[in-house]
């Protein structure tokens, strides 16, 4: 699982809403709009693997894209806390990347037509291959991370406050 939490609110009008009775005012709406936008960007920019690269995992693809969640924790009245997370078991690898691996592992690849082969086994020791062909490759390559969560949070944070947009579009929206 990968989680990122980052909110920078410097709009004085938003913080004034925090001081309304009950402490929710527009801050909850602001937080929820921000989280919704961050999740929308994350889903839209999530990579989806080629099914031939996932045959060794049962051919299932799209779990990273489908695993985005947003939540907001109970927080003091002066904090607008939100959380964007991905619950896929390989989310940290997609987000941050991985190093080269030389350990023996089953792998499928589009160049092999989706066939499952061993990687990390010396072809001269193929008797240990347990029913699958040996690829001859001694390692899997390192892979850079996609940084989807970081990009989505930064993108949403740079968008105008929903309150400023509402006020610009409707002069009857009360000032905060």
Q: At what angle do helices 27-45 and 148-157 cross, to 10 degrees?
A: 140
With respect to residue 174, please indicate whether it lies within any of the assigned structural domains. Answer: no
Q: List pLDDT tens digits, range 3-37.
A: 655 555 566 666 665 555 544 556 666 777 888 88
Q: Is the backbone of residue 57 left (phi > 0), alpha (psi -120 to 50) or beta?
A: alpha
Question: What is the three-class DSSP state of 41?
Answer: helix
Total tally of structural domains belonging to the chain = 2
| Backbone torsions φ then ψ of 11, nearest 5 degrees | -85, 110
Same domain as 17, residue 86: yes
Please check whether residues 41 and 71 belong to one and the same domain: yes
End-to-end CA distance of the chain: 37
Domain-embedded: residue 18: yes
pLDDT tens sequence across 74-131: 655 556 678 899 999 889 988 999 888 888 888 788 888 888 888 887 777 666 556 7
Neighbours of 8 (CB within 10 A): 7
Same domain, yes or no, for 28 and 74? Answer: yes
Domain that holds residue 109: 101-141
pTM tops 0.75, yes or no: no
Q: Which pair of tokens denotes residue 88?
A: 């896929």
In a domain, 118, yes or no: yes
Q: Are residues 65 and 121 in the same domain?
A: no
């Amino acid at each position: 699982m990968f989680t990122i939490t980052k909110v920078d609110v410097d709009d004085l009008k938003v913080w004034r809403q925090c001081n309304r009775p009950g402490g929710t005012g527009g801050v909850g709406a602001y937080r929820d709009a921000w989280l919704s936008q961050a999740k929308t960007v994350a889903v839209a920019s999530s990579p989806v693997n080629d099914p031939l690269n996932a045959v060794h995992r049962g051919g299932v693809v799209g779990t990273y894209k489908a695993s985005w969640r947003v939540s907001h924790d109970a927080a003091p009245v002066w904090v607008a806390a939100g959380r964007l997370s991905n619950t896929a078991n390989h989310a940290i690898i997609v987000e941050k990347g991985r190093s080269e691996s030389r350990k023996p592992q089953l792998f499928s690849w589009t160049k092999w037509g989706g066939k499952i082969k061993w990687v990390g086994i010396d072809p001269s020791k193929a008797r240990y291959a347990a029913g699958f062909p040996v690829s001859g490759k001694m390692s899997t390559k390192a892979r850079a991370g996609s940084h989807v969560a970081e990009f989505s949070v930064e993108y949403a944070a740079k968008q105008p406050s929903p309150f400023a947009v509402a006020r610009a579009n409707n002069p009857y929206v009360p000032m905060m």
